[in-house]
Amino acid sequence: MQDAGWRPQSQEGKEEVEILLNDRRSFESVSGRASARGDNEDQPEKGIEDEYENESESESENGESDQGPQRGLSRSTKGTIWVVLMTMSTLLGRRLLRGSFPYPFFLVLSIQLVAWSMVAFFVVVRHLKNFNLRAAKATNLKDVAAGYSMFATTFFIARTLLASSVAGLAALCGAFALQNCPNLPILVMLPITTYVFDSFLFRLAYLFCLLPRDQSASLKRAHKVIFVFAFSIPPIAFDYRLNQRSTVFAFVGFALFSLSKVILKIGPQFESKGTGTSFRLDTPLHYYLLQGIAPIIISWVAATKHENYVAAHYAFTSWGLEYKLLNLAPGVLMHLLFIASMNSAHPFISDVHVGGALEEPTEKATDAIASTLQAGFWIIIVGVFGQEKNFVDWTQVIPFTLIYIVCVGPKHIAYYPPRLMNFCTRLFRRRQMPLRPEPWQLIVFIITTTVVFGIIISCNMIFWVDTLAYSRDTKTWLGPTTPTLDTVYGSPRFRSIDVVIAHSEGDSIASLSYLIAMFTSHNFIKFYNPRIIVYSKDSSIEMTEEAAKKIKGEFQGDFSIQILDNTGGVTATFLHHILSSWSTMTVQTVFLSTATPTISNSTVQLYRNRLADYFVIMGFPLPDAVPKTGFLNLGESESCYCGQCTDSHGWEDSFHLVPSMFSAARPGTTACESVLLTYGNNFAASAARIRATKQDVWQMLYDGLVDKNLENAWAHKREKMPVMLTGEGGKGRWKKGAVYGSPDSLAKPYLGLTIERLWGVLLQCSSAEIAWGCPALEVGWRINGRKEDCGCIE
């Protein structure tokens, strides 16, 4: 997909010709200023990006340079390097942040520190090496100190620090989005919108006279900006795993990157007052050191204030050298060569046109657009070998492909076949075929190549994600395909459904009433004469008939309240109901909780919507005559590896219950790899599934939760508790409101957190179909969705 160092020659309009000429003059001006600073061996080294720009700008029709051998690498090689590094850094960062290292700010800080330290070390060594030579040449102290004026130096430093500070915030936003965005294929389709922000912000700055007036402000290609903006909406709108917070962070990151580029262009561009050999901030390496200071400080503050810095530092120092090289090298190289971060657009700033790469007709702009889109494509393709569990749809893939075709251009795409053939001839050390406009630029060939290219790109993304990655992942979900059910048990109450509500100490009565009103008002629940059973662990609750009427509100069916000891938490309440109603359990039961961390009016509405969308009620008068829901989790879910299970909240299976409970619910099954964790203690289950797991298993878990003998209770043994590192108290997963924010106690045992996540495992509803197909709560339903996407039908 890269251009192999050749550019198609096409006739441009008058405005575009002027832009191209201005671009050439701008390049020559920059080269002239670089030469004026002196070509002696004492001249500070150029950055890799700057040195590559010295390549020839003119090429003949056969693709060979008219000026002989070129200095540096071709743009196509630079583009390929950028695509490879961006793909590797994004995927490795995603694997770390979604796995054993959930610290995005610390990861960004580590990459920035390593890159900055490498440049600083090189600069120090270089200056030490040339120290004696400099002293010998510095015969004129005034010449040595020649450079910018005091005002110019102060303005230059202030502008650079401000722009780099904004870019540092953008890198943090991008890393946060990379960690928390559930659907990676959709996230990597969005960096192209950076150029939309470029066009808007640069034109806004130009409108307020903050940019030089000698640049072109033509709107001839503004339609591309509108097109990219419009066609970036469908991938988000049809994302069934949409996380609004992470999406906002992603767009804020793109906008801040654009803003940092605008800041760099604001104000006068100063010329040096002399050609001395003194330390200069505007040389590539010194400039890199200057602009790297602010992002490092910002990342350090963010990591120490908003992350568990102690745990992050401990995990980082425990890595071996090979592991550090593997995970950090691509990001460090990306930062060194392109000053870019994970999942970002190819850096591009125009010197001749107001706007971004989408509006500029130069080859560098086309390279930037193509490289950005190609990186997204390869991240999607290579990402299938990771742990992603997300489908993509044609409504998302086709807009991405159309953006590539419109922004890169059919004429450019028409040269892909001969470039591919030349690439193959290179592999076999054969002579490359000369590239000429005919026949590749014939209208028939352009249309055919563009259509075929679009079909190949779209079909590849769909195939690799929806077929290949899904088939690969399903092999890790072990266990019997058909669940073991208690088909002998017959409920004494056919036309009824129980709604069990766990009311915890400190939870409001209003939340209890709201739960009852929301779920009993649903049509299919009302039809089956629901029975409300409230278990409260708040001893102060009134048990009078008047209080009961106030709690149940307009509900007219069976209603009862029981007071339980405040031990074991919500999970103990549900286990108490299962054990006490073992012989009288209704065909289907809905379990709800008023626990403060999971309940609010908005989340209750989402739980109700999930029940309405995916719950399949039992048949009447024969409950087992038609399919019905066996298990449906009303909250979010997450997958993990059975042998070493952790989640994004910081919870860990310190009790090692996941493998044992997986086997206990599936007699005869010993192997266990991928499992599904459930959150919130809000779910619906059938008696056939509950009773399929032996009563002894439920009893063992219940006894562990309510055992008041803390010294001998296995649920409170010190060796089974998660380990807190020195200095980690009150941070990360240990801070108030986090998963381990309160100490292990009888009222809120850590074992309850594990059982909360194991309802799907215990009830034999832990499958790849749910891990891949269940939408986010806020989305509700996905295109071509089914009832089985979020629950198990029996």
Model confidence over 600-610: pLDDT tens digits? 677 888 999 99
CA 9 to chain centre: 39
Distance CA 149, CA 145 (A): 10
Distance CA 566, CA 572 (A): 10
Distance CA 181, CA 241 (A): 8
Distance CA 691, CA 179 (A): 39
**CB of 595 closer than 8 Å to CB of 502:** yes
Read off the tokens for 302.
């963010």
User: In the predicted model, is pLDDT for residue 619 greater than 70?
Assistant: yes
Q: Give alpha helix (H) positions in 506-599.
A: 509-520, 523-527, 545-552, 569-580
Q: What is the pLDDT of residue 61?
A: 35
Between the two ends of the chain, the Cα-to-Cα distance in Å is 49
User: In the predicted model, is pLDDT for residue 480 greater than 90?
Assistant: no
Distance CA 576, CA 573 (A): 5
Distance CA 748, CA 743 (A): 8
Distance CA 100, CA 116 (A): 25
Q: How far is CA 308 from CA 107, 113, 295, 311, 743, in A?
A: 12, 18, 19, 6, 18
Distance CA 388, CA 95 (A): 9
**CB of 419 closer than 8 Å to CB of 6:** yes
Calculate what percentage of the chain has a pLDDT beyond 90: 58
Q: In terms of C-beta density within 10 A (0-12 exposed, 13-18 middle, 19 or more buried), how is residue 468 classed?
A: middle
Distance CA 437, CA 778 (A): 52
Q: What is the mean pLDDT of the chain?
A: 85
Distance CA 753, CA 569 (A): 9
Kindly write down the DSSP assignment for every residue of 537-555, as one continuous string.
--TTS--SHHHHHHHHTT-
Residue with tokens 């090189």: 122
Q: What is the pLDDT of residue 12?
A: 46
CA 293 to chain centre: 26
Distance CA 670, CA 662 (A): 8
Q: What is the pLDDT of residue 83?
A: 95
Which stretch of DSSP H or E encloses residue 593?
Answer: strand 588-593
CA 184 to chain centre: 6
Kindly write down the DSSP assignment for every residue of 458-486, as one continuous string.
HHHHHIIIIIIIHHHHHTT--S-SS----
Confidence of residue 3 (pLDDT cuts 50, 70, 90): very low
Confidence of residue 212 (pLDDT cuts 50, 70, 90): confident
Q: What is the pLDDT of residue 228?
A: 96
Question: Which of 45-59, 541-555, 617-631, 754-768 is modeled with the greatest confidence?
Answer: 754-768
Q: Give 68's DSSP letter.
A: S
R_g over Cα of the chain: 32
**CB of 700 closer than 8 Å to CB of 632:** no
Q: How far is CA 350 from CA 31, 373, 385, 644, in A?
A: 16, 19, 37, 50
Q: What is the pLDDT of residues 655-688, one digit of tens each?
A: 999 999 999 999 888 789 999 999 989 999 999 9
Confidence of residue 140 (pLDDT cuts 50, 70, 90): very low
Spatial neighbors of 408 by CB under 8 A, at least 6 apart, are 366, 369, 370, 373
Q: Give 623's DSSP letter.
A: T
Which stretch of DSSP H or E encloses residue 559?
Answer: strand 559-563
User: In the predicted model, is pLDDT for residue 368 greater than 90?
Assistant: yes
Q: Which residues share a beta bridge with 652?
A: 646
Residue with tokens 């649903």: 522
Confidence of residue 73 (pLDDT cuts 50, 70, 90): low
Region of poorest pLDDT, from 165-179, 208-222, 463-477: 208-222
Q: What is the pLDDT of residues 376-419, one digit of tens each?
A: 999 999 999 888 999 999 999 999 999 999 999 998 888 888 88
> What number is the average pLDDT over the span 292-306?
96
Nearest alpha-carbon partner for 484 in 697, 694, 283: 694
Q: Give 732's DSSP letter.
A: G
Q: Give 630's DSSP letter.
A: E
Distance CA 252, CA 249 (A): 5
Confidence of residue 487 (pLDDT cuts 50, 70, 90): confident
Spell out the SS3 assignment of 636-668: CEEEEEHHHCECCCCCECCCCHHHHHHHHHCCC
Distance CA 249, CA 754 (A): 31
If DSSP codes are grouped into helix, strand and coil, which group holds residue 534?
Answer: strand
Q: What is the pLDDT of residue 137?
A: 52
Nearest alpha-carbon partner for 638 in 624, 628, 648: 648
Q: What is the pLDDT of residue 35?
A: 46
Which residue would you say has higher pLDDT here, 562 or 218?
562
Pairing type for strands 791-793 and 629-633 reads antiparallel
CA 601 to chain centre: 28
Q: In terms of C-beta density within 10 A (0-12 exposed, 13-18 middle, 19 or more buried), how is residue 316 classed?
A: middle
Distance CA 793, CA 614 (A): 10
**CB of 219 closer than 8 Å to CB of 19:** no
Q: Give 116's DSSP letter.
A: H
If DSSP codes are grouped into helix, strand and coil, which group holds residue 45?
Answer: coil
Confidence of residue 51 (pLDDT cuts 50, 70, 90): very low
**CB of 698 closer than 8 Å to CB of 685:** no
How many CB atoms within 10 Å of residue 788?
17
Domains of the chain: which residue ranges? 14-62+92-210+220-471, 498-793
Nearest alpha-carbon partner for 199 in 225, 176, 160: 225
Q: Is the pTM of this model over 0.95?
A: no
